[in-house]
Amino acid sequence: MKLELGNFYVKDIEFGSETAFNDGILTINKEEALEVVYKDEHITEADLKIVKPGDMVRLVPVKEAIEPRYRKGGGPVFPGVTGSLLQAGDGRTLALKDMSVLVVGKHWGGYQDGLIDMGGEGAKYTYFSKLKNVVLVADTDEEFEKQEQQKKNHALRWAGMRLSEYLGKTLKDQEPEEVESYQLDPVTKRSDEVNSLPNVVMVMQPQSQMEDPGYNDLNYGWDTNPMLPTFMHPNEVLDGAMISGSFMPCSSKWSTYDFQNFPLIKRLYQEHGETINFLGVIMSNLNVVMEQKERAAQFVAQLAKSLGTDAALVAEEGYGNSDADYIACLVALEDAGVKTVGVSNEAPGRDGGSQPLVTLDPKANALVSTGNVSELIKLPPMDTVIGELESLARDGLAGGWEDDEILGSSVKEDGSVIMENNSMFCGDQIAGWSTKTMKEF
Partner 1 sequence: MAKAIVYLNQFFGQIGGEEVADHEPEIRNEKVGAAMLYDQLLDGEVTHTIICGDNFMGSNEEQAVDRILGFLKDKEFDIFFAGPAFQAGRYGIACGAIGKAVKEEFDVSVISSMNEENPGVKMYKKDIYIFPGGKSAAKMRDDVTKMVEFGNKILSGEKLLPAEQEGFFKRGIRHQYFLEDETPAYERAIDMLLKKINGEDFVSELPIPEIDTVEIADPIKDLSKATIALVTSGGIVPIDNPDKIQSASATRWGKYYIADVDKLKNRREESFKTIHAGYDPKAADADPNRVVPVDAMRKYEQEGKIGSLYEYFYSTVGTGTSQDEAARMGKEITQELIENNIQAVIETST
Instruction: Point out which residues bind partner 1 (CB under 8 A).
Output: 124, 198, 200, 263-264, 266-268, 271, 275-276, 310-311, 313, 339-341, 343, 346, 348, 351-353, 356-357, 360-362, 364-372, 375, 421, 429-430, 432-441
Cβ neighbours around 188 below 10 Å, total: 8
Least distance (Å) between residue 349 CB and partner 1: 9
Beta strands in 233-372 (DSSP E): 242-243, 277-283, 311-316, 339-346, 367-372
Least distance (Å) between residue 295 CB and partner 1: 24
Q: How far apart are CA 303 and CA 301, in angstroms?
A: 6
Rank residues 11 and 130 by Cβ distance to partner 1 and give the closer one: 130
Nearest to 397 by CA among 42, 64, 149: 149
Q: Which helix (H) or strand (E) holds 174?
A: none
Least distance (Å) between residue 327 CB and partner 1: 9
Least distance (Å) between residue 399 CB and partner 1: 13
The residues pairing with 411 across neighbouring beta strands, listed in sequence order, are: 417
Least distance (Å) between residue 118 CB and partner 1: 18
Rank residues 352 and 415 by Cβ distance to partner 1 and give the closer one: 352
Rank residues 189 and 439 by Cβ distance to partner 1 and give the closer one: 439
- The string of DSSP letters for 193-217 reads HHHTSPEEEEEEE-----SSTTSS-
Helix 290-306 with 323-335: angle, nearest 10 deg? 40
Least distance (Å) between residue 117 CB and partner 1: 15
Rank residues 303 and 315 by Cβ distance to partner 1 and give the closer one: 315
Rank residues 16 and 198 by Cβ distance to partner 1 and give the closer one: 198
Rank residues 48 and 115 by Cβ distance to partner 1 and give the closer one: 115
Sign of the alpha-carbon torsion through 422, 427, 429, 435: negative
128, burial (CB in 10 Å: exposed 0-12, middle 13-18, buried 19+): buried
Least distance (Å) between residue 406 CB and partner 1: 13
Rank residues 79 and 432 by Cβ distance to partner 1 and give the closer one: 432
CA–centroid distance for 170 within its chain: 24
Question: CA of 341: how far to CAs of 203, 275, 331, in Å?
Answer: 10, 16, 11
Least distance (Å) between residue 134 CB and partner 1: 25
Q: How far apart are CA 282 and CA 333, in angstroms?
A: 12
Rank residues 63 and 190 by Cβ distance to partner 1 and give the closer one: 190
CA–centroid distance for 367 within its chain: 20
The total number of residues written for the chain in this structure: 441
